[in-house]
Structure 1
Amino acid sequence: MTERDLGSLLERASEHLPEVDFAEGAWAAAVAGRARRRRLAMGAVAAVAAAGLGVAAVQLGGSTTPRPTPATSSATRTGAGTLSDGTPYAVMPLEGTEAQLPAFDVGLPSVIDVRGRAAQSYAGPPRPVVAVFLRPDGAVFHPVLVSGDGAEVVLDKVDLQWTFDAGGDSASPLGPHAVGGGGRYVVFPQGDHVVRLDTRTGDTVSYSVPSHHVEWVGWTSSAGVVVARDAGHAWTIDTGQARPSAVPVVDGYEGRYRITAADSPSRALGLTTYDGAKPVARGFVRAPMSGVWGETVGTQQSAATGAFFDQNVTAPVIRLGDGPIYQGLVAVDVPGSSARVLLAPENPDGQTGRFKGCCTVLGWADATTVLFQSVGTHGRWILAWNVRTGTVYQVSRLVTGAPDDPPTAIALAVGTRS
């Protein structure tokens, strides 16, 4: 493990395809099966709620009705309002209270053990595959496929290496755009090539890339086409061709939109729109941003990414004792050229809470709900943020060996990740 993987830990120590990308029938069946199990356990009231979840999952690719949970405490209530610059905001509950949040069902299991200790060796994929993570094994990683009921299958014959940039910093070879083909294919960057895994067969195919430092790869809005990127170049690979080759594309990106930090405080967000992998429009959106974190993931009309904020704007929102608010998420309504932010406060009274880079966008459950990973001293979670209401929900708890474990690289096969 090198500098980039320990970055968030050192920071904490020093300062404390556009389509819905899932197999519709399989996913709906998984959610319905999950709802049936809950009905047996929770009785008649839960039966009504679970049935509603099944209908919403088929129609929207994820339930918009929270699962029944105990009433939330004051520590888990989210505040909302408008910042001094006019940006609508919501505030995340304090780190460590995620288990008290209302639940949101998108077909993911409520607990995912990212240590992979209970994973079974591959004898066929779990049905359906709803997420993928990487299990470290010495100097390599093995992909682990996760099903909607929590079963895990490890492909222990598939060895994946760390990615390295030109400066020698390393990172895990898995990003939020990695899963495509309705959950059938997963792509991984591997230095001078891309590996595509077929989850149905366990087979892999490699595609050569004219670089030694490919760090990112993901599916585009064009069926079968992936983008591979290093720090300064991008290539498209049409995996449907008989002999796929890496074709250079200027400023290419695997998402429909890309949010970047602008160089002027009055134009705090840069927004680039892509057709396939090619940039076709550029603009700016006002928001109280000082930087961005992680990749941009979008829908047809919205985009979201991790964010660092201008604390001069966010400071008035801080409750007494909650510490600074310098990070969280930003979501952009592209047609409206407007942004909303989710603020992630520190824990009160100087306690260690969220790590720097706490919040990473993984996808969208539906047109208004962002799925993201939250990391802190008390654990890791996949959470959901409704950008219209500001409500934050729990989706899945990620079980790790210890809070100081390296950041969890996980890609979803549910919802929208364009």
Structure 2
Amino acid sequence: MNEQDLRRLLTVSVEDVLPSQPAAAGWERARRTRRTRRVVGVIAVAVVLVGGGTVAALRPPADPTPAPPVGPTVTPTVDNSHAGPVQKPPTELTYPPDPLARLGDPATVPLSERPAKRALALFQPLNEEYQANGPVRVLGDDGVVRSLDVVTLAPTRDASGNEAPALKPGMLSPDGRSAAFAQTKELVMVDLTTAAVRRIPLDGYLEQVVWAHDRWLVGGDDRTYAVDRVTGAVSTIDVSTWELIAPDPAAGREAPLLDIYGERTSLTLRSRTARKGELRSEQPVNASRLPSPYQVNEFYGRGWLHGERLARAAWITSSEIDGAEGATVLDARTGTVLHLLDLGRERGKGCCEVLGWDNRGAVLLRLEPAALARWDPETGKITGIVRDLRGVFTLAG
């Protein structure tokens, strides 16, 4: 078929097309359709190419070449708890800014003139003979250090005449609004927000005070009193304030009380009812997570609950000596020793009492050469708070 025959054929084929549907419109629609298909085709090819390139990029080469590290390599300066339950402090402590660092400052105003809205800590300066060396300091959450001038505290003593500073860990309420001090034959309660003093007569030589929910537990050698913080009502409770673990402030008033007694393989964690101190359960302290030869010989000082964890100072068997100083964190449900801070053999006996927890889950403790330090048992990081401050601390929960 030549060109002339083709043209005649096309002429005949369009003779029946209605004027309302011209062939030009049909060709235009066909042109737009082809153009759309070309665009779609281009996009599809691009997607295939990009997708194929991505797969090829993600597929490792047959002989991979190590990529250079991005940024500097950081070498940890402290032991990490993931490497094992035993940790050690760094040789040199750092002292980042901390509200508790003001404990080293002298008092600038008496409590009676400027009560605190909330106390962060109390501090009793001591001399070299371990005797009171000035009034108790009250560090408020406003950063002001006050002197406790509304009461004169005598040293506590037992029936044999042995004396100790009046201030001890556990005597400041977790909300920082009140403090209670054991004195011979009485409990002295101080409202730090008003500077008001209240005295509760009690019998005997009293030395220890522990806040427990809505009560102060006050004890000496042979008995423990429970004193209601609001009404001042007094009852007795079958617990020892020497071994009692300070409860978690977030726990309810019916939460059980815990204590630990014994030595070495006979160390036992006990649970008691909150109101009467009746024995609920007891189980051995389990140190099986510690690598040999590490063991806990004996706990000392106040213990502190934080959720399901318990922190307390201890004398330990380490890789160097039997009788080293240490601090521990236990599972309060099972008695398992989770973390142990090995403080070594070159420290004074009983140097490193645990003083509580902060709100981030770090343990606060005495630590030479720092007077107060913060230990995060999950990371092993230890930082100083107050340097070389001789005295006794009690912290709010």
- The TM-score range, normalised by the shorter chain, is 0.5 to 0.7
* Correspondence 1:182-201 to 2 at 5 A: 182-201=175-194
Shift of 1:373: 1.7
Q: Which amino acid aligns with 1:409?
A: V
Distance 2:265 2:183 in 1: 39
Count how many residue pairs are aligned between Structure 1 and Structure 2. Answer: 299
Identity, % of aligned pairs? 20
Distance 2:186 2:139 in 1: 25
Kept in 1, the 8 Å contact 2:102–2:145? The answer is no
Distance 1:236 1:128 in 2: 24
Distance 1:209 1:281 in 2: 30
Q: Which amino acid aligns with 1:218?
A: V
1:360 equivalent in alignment to 2:348? no
Change (3 A) 1:238 1:118: closer
Flag the structure with larger Rg. 2
Question: Looking at both structures, which has the greater relative contact order when contacts are Cα pairs under 8 Å and sequence separation is at least 6?
Answer: 1
String of CA shifts for 1:87-126, please: whole Å, max 9, x gaps: x2111224xx22x26x485xx333422xx63432231224
Q: Which blocks of at least 5 consecutive residues in structure 1 are unaligned?
A: 1-71, 347-352
> Residue 335 of structure 2: which of 337, 353, 367 is its match?
337
Residue 47 (structure 2) aligns with: none
TM-score, scaled to structure 1: 0.63
Residue 238 (structure 1) aligns with: 228
String of CA shifts for 1:267-312, please: whole Å, max 9, x gaps: 4x321234435253322212312212211111231111110012xx
Kept in 1, the 8 Å contact 2:124–2:132? The answer is no
Change (3 A) 1:158 1:136: farther
Distance 1:160 1:330 in 2: 32
Change (3 A) 1:208 1:73: farther
1:412 equivalent in alignment to 2:377? no
Change (3 A) 1:360 1:228: same
Residue 154 (structure 2) aligns with: 161
Distance 2:195 2:272 in 1: 32
Residue 392 (structure 1) aligns with: 382
* Correspondence 1:269-418 to 2 at 5 A: 269-276=267-274, 278-279=277-278, 280-287=280-287, 288-310=295-317, 314-315=318-319, 326-339=324-337, 340-346=339-345, 353-366=346-359, 368-374=361-367, 376=368, 378-381=369-372, 383-394=373-384, 396-398=385-387, 400=389, 405=390, 408-413=391-396, 416=397
Q: Which amino acid aligns with 1:370?
A: V
Kept in 1, the 8 Å contact 2:182–2:207? The answer is yes
Shift of 1:229: 0.5
Residue 36 (structure 1) aligns with: none
Q: Which amino acid aligns with 2:377?
A: V
Shift of 1:148: 3.8
Shift of 1:385: 1.8
Kept in 1, the 8 Å contact 2:88–2:342? The answer is yes
Residue 266 (structure 1) aligns with: 265
CA RMSD after TM alignment = 3.1
Kept in 2, the 8 Å contact 1:235–1:248? The answer is yes
Kept in 2, the 8 Å contact 1:214–1:229? The answer is yes
> Residue 129 of structure 1: which of 115, 119, 136 is its match?
119
Shift of 1:367: 6.5
- The 3-state SS of whatever aligns with 2:365 is strand
* Structure holding more strand per residue: 1
Change (3 A) 1:364 1:189: same
Change (3 A) 1:155 1:110: closer
Distance 1:392 1:325 in 2: 22
String of CA shifts for 1:126-181, please: whole Å, max 9, x gaps: 44421112256997863321024542111224100000012221111222221226
Shift of 1:198: 0.7
Kept in 2, the 8 Å contact 1:119–1:144? The answer is no
Distance 2:97 2:361 in 1: 13
Residue 220 (structure 1) aligns with: 212
String of CA shifts for 1:26-74, please: whole Å, max 9, x gaps: xxxxxxxxxxxxxxxxxxxxxxxxxxxxxxxxxxxxxxxxxxxxxx999
Q: Which blocks of at least 5 consecutive residues in structure 2 are unaligned?
A: 1-73, 248-256, 288-294
Kept in 1, the 8 Å contact 2:188–2:200? The answer is yes
Change (3 A) 1:298 1:81: same
TM-score, scaled to structure 2: 0.66
Distance 1:169 1:126 in 2: 33
